[in-house]
Structure 1
Amino acid sequence: MEQTERQAIIIWLYTLKQLKQLRKFGNVTYVSKKMKYVYLYVDKADAEDIMAKLDRLHFVRSVELSQRPSVRMDFTKILPELREEYALEKSKQKQLIASNNEQATQEVTKEQD
């Protein structure tokens, strides 16, 4: 069985009343009622044509392609970098706490004198 390439399209709407009309263009996977947008999956080959058709509909505010295919999803190299940053940040916090404790003890000894 051959898998077809899919592309997500984000459709910003003025109103959600005509939501059923969008189903004929592709698979509606998510609808945000509060922000009034729809996540629609279509065949990658037909994406540009469908975007042009959707943009002409009177209830559509704007249409844009999803940026997910262009985002790197391989985090194997990033994880060690994040661990190093976390360790560095933690050591800085420990140094800051130690210096604050020293200052506090010096102030207490000055007050006692």
Structure 2
Amino acid sequence: MSINQELEKQEIPSRTSLIVYLRNVNNDQFKLRRFGDIVYFSKKLHYLVLYVNRDEAEEVAHKLQGFNFVKRVEFSMNDALNLDNQNIEQQLNQMAQEAEEKLNQKDKEDWIK
């Protein structure tokens, strides 16, 4: 069972993250606090990550696009990640097999030389 499925069973409101790109970083990020929780802010790259309720995400994204200091708003792809334990184990096993094959191939090449 994935983490998202477990959270749906609880009475915790589902959240999603929006990536908001800003034109000017001076004090504009403080204006966005009323829309959600700012969890990350990059002064150098002019963007921030804003957590909002999933039900209100479309509406908040549309409102944010209306501000003149916002370049664009994107939905984060975190929700598309499959964090199932079995899926992660499969990926790790596959990576280990690929690494072993590369090492064996390199050993054969070194032996031939």
TM-score in terms of structure 1 length:
0.84
Higher relative contact order, structure no. (Cα contacts within 8 Å, ≥ 6 residues apart) = 2
1:9 lines up with 2:18 in the alignment: yes
Give the 3-state SS of the residue equivalent to 2:101 in structure 1: helix
Q: Please tell me whether Structure 1 or Structure 2 has the larger radius of gyration of its CA atoms.
A: 1
2:59 alignment partner, one of 43, 49, 63: 49
Give the 3-state SS of the residue equivalent to 2:34 in structure 1: coil
Identify unmatched segments of 5+ residues in structure 2: 1-9
Per-residue deviation, residues 71-91 of structure 1 (Å, max 9, x unmatched): 222311111111111110000
Give the Cα–Cα distance (whole angstroms) in 2 for the partners of residues 59 and 78 of structure 1: 41
Runs of 4+ with deviation above 6 angstroms? none
Identify unmatched segments of 5+ residues in structure 1: 101-113
1:65 lines up with 2:78 in the alignment: no
Per-residue deviation, residues 49-99 of structure 1 (Å, max 9, x unmatched): 000000010000000100011022231111111111111000011011112
TM-score in terms of structure 2 length:
0.84
Give the Cα–Cα distance (whole angstroms) in 2 for the partners of residues 32 and 96 of structure 1: 46
Partner of residue 108, structure 1: none
The one-letter code of the counterpart of 1:44 is R
